[in-house]
Amino acid sequence: MRTVKHPEERKNDILNAAQVLFSTKGYQQTTIIDILKAVGIAKGTFYYYFTSKEEVMDAIIDRIIKADIIVAKRIAADPNLPVVDKLFHIIMAQSPKQGSNKQGMIEQFHQPSNAEMHQKSLIKAIKELSPVLADVIQQGVEKGTFQTKYPQETVEFLLASAQVIFDEGLFQWTAEESIHRALAFIDLLESSLHAEKGSFSFLLKRLTGEGDENNQ
């Protein structure tokens, strides 16, 4: 007997299967036929939800970013956490788990042929994450931990620069170069937010990739 699934559930099944295929087989190498087979649905069912493979990828990116934003907002709203700790937890929560589908997606973005997708996800991440981080910065301004006239805009510049410079697909830094960039970025955060020296030292490990296996 065929199971009748709720449309949202069916859509999620397609996204789950496609995400696994994209991160294991590769986006370019995955066909819509592969997705149909993996979900066990007919072509018509697929086209009821999506018009192309690209649209599936867009929906996967949206879903990953939305999930990140939910976590980030929860942390930002915690009344008991100091602002620097909030930033720490939000940034750490963005890191993909080793071997996760999110990590697989990021590897796909590093293929030159997927540059358009990479660009879309970069812009989307800046647009969605910046207001949440700006809210935390603003809390810090009110508490006197930070000082800036432009929380929203400063966060946008910081996010954009970090996403470009620390992207392993765009720049292949040596270990030493990577440490210098991490130190410089920490310095940039502290100076732009007029934060106390050392406030962002927690980022050193995160940015140089050390201790990534311990991420949540």
Chain residues in the site for a second copy (CB under 8 A): 112-113, 115-116, 118-119, 122-123, 126, 148-150, 152-154, 156-158, 160-165, 170-171, 180-181, 183-185, 187-188, 191-192, 194
Distance from C-alpha of 97 to C-alpha of 168, rounded to nearest angstrom: 16
Cβ 156 to a second copy shortest distance, Å: 6
Residue with tokens 């939910």: 70
Cβ 10 to a second copy shortest distance, Å: 29
Cβ 177 to a second copy shortest distance, Å: 9
Cβ 119 to a second copy shortest distance, Å: 5
DSSP the chain: -PPPPPHHHHHHHHHHHHHHHHHHT-TTT--HHHHHHHHT--HHHHHHH-SSHHHHHHHHHHHHHHHHHHHHHHHHH-TTS-HHHHHHHHHHHHSPPTT-HHHHHHHHHTSGGGHHHHHHHHHHHHHHHHHHHHHHHHHHHHHTS---S-HHHHHHHHHHHHHHHT-TTT----HHHHHHHHHHHHHHHHHHTTPPTTTTTTHHHHHTTTTGGG--
Q: Between 48 and 171, whose beta carbon lies closer to a second copy?
A: 171
Q: Between 78 and 153, whose beta carbon lies closer to a second copy?
A: 153
Cβ 215 to a second copy shortest distance, Å: 23
Cβ 12 to a second copy shortest distance, Å: 27
Q: Between 58 and 85, whose beta carbon lies closer to a second copy?
A: 58
Distance from C-alpha of 187 to C-alpha of 177, rounded to nearest angstrom: 15
Q: Between 67 and 115, whose beta carbon lies closer to a second copy?
A: 115
Q: Between 92 and 126, whose beta carbon lies closer to a second copy?
A: 126
Q: Between 86 and 118, whose beta carbon lies closer to a second copy?
A: 118
